[in-house]
Structure 1
Amino acid sequence: MTTTPTADWLRLDQQICFSLNAASRAFGGVYRVILKDLGLTYPQYLVMLVLWEHGDLPVKKLGEHLRLDSGTLSPLLKRLEAGGLVRRERSARDERSVEVRLTGEGDALRERALQVPRRIAAATGFDVEEIRELRARLDQLTTALDTAARTEAESATARQR
C-alpha cells in the first residue's frame, strides 16, 4: 500500500479483506450446491473433515482444529448428531470433557465426500500447483494476522494500564 496514494487507501477495491470475503462467499455458494448431495452445510463438512482425519476428538480439540469456540461448535455437533453422523459422549477419563465420535453412517459418508475436493478444485479453474501456492500464501497471511492481532491486543492492554 506504500505505492497507493493515501486518498485511495479507503477505496473498497483496495481492501484485501474485501477480496478475501468475496472469495469466501463465492466458495460458500459452490460448496452449498456440492454439499447438498451429502446433506451437509459447509461448517458441518469441516467438522467431518477433521473427524475423518483425526478420529475421535474432545470438543475442545475439535474446536482448536477448526478455530471455533464451543458456542459455535455445539450447535453444529448437535445437528450432526441428530443426523446420525456423530455421537457426543462424556469422556470416561475426564467427565468435564465431551468426546465426538463418528457413527458408522458418518464414517461411510467419507467415501461419498471424496468427490468434493475434486469438484471444488475444478470450480476454481486453478491447477493443483496454483492451489498449493495459494494455500501456502493464505497460511502465511493467517499466521501474520494472528501475530498482529496478539500484538495489537497486548498494546491495547498496555495502554489501558
Structure 2
Amino acid sequence: IVFIVEALVLAAEKGLKVPLVYNCGGYEKVETLKLLEGIIDIYMPDFKYWDEKIALKLSKVPRYPQVARAALKEMHRQVGDLELDDEFIARRGLIVRHLVLPGGLAGTKYILSWIAKELSPNTYVNIMDQYYPCGDAWKYPPLDRRITKEEYEEALLAAKEAGLKRLDERVERRLLWLTF
C-alpha cells in the first residue's frame, strides 16, 4: 500500500485528475484504509456476508462481518455519501455492492438495514443478482442454484424498508428473468 500511495501522490502532482477508486471485497483493515485517507476519492467495497459462520465456511475468512463493518464505517467517514457532478459522473463517496445469494445465505436484510442505520440512508447501494453456481457449488445447496426472482425482489423490498434511498436503478429496471 505504501508504494501505491507514493505513486498516486506523484501522479497527482504530475496532473492526474480522475477520481481514484478503491475496489475491494470489504475485508480491509482500518489501519490500511487510514493510509489512503485524502488519496482515494471513491470506495467501492463488497459487503458479502452478515453471518460470521457462513463467511468462514464460504470464503474462509475469519470475522468477515466485523472487519467489513469497521472498514465500511471508515470508508464512509473518509468520503461520505456518493457525490455526482452535473453530468452524473461519480466524483467522491462510497458505493457498496452486495451480491444476493440463494436461500438468504448472505444475510441481505441485515446488511441493508445496517447500511441504512450505521452509515447513511443515502448510501449508494448496488444490489447484485448475478450469482451463478460454479465449481463445487453443486455440493452445497442452496448454492447449487441461481437466485430466484422472488429472492431478488425480497432484497429490493428489504432495502426500501430499511430506508435506503439510493439503489442502483439500472438493476431495478431489468427485472427480466430466465429461470430453468
Is the shorter-chain TM-score for this pair beyond 0.5, marking a shared fold?
Answer: no
Please give the range of the TM-score, normalised by the shorter of the 2 chains. under 0.3
* Structure with higher helix content: 1
TM-score in terms of structure 2 length: 0.23
Please report the TM-score for the alignment, with normalisation by the length of structure 1.
0.24
Larger strand fraction of residues: 2
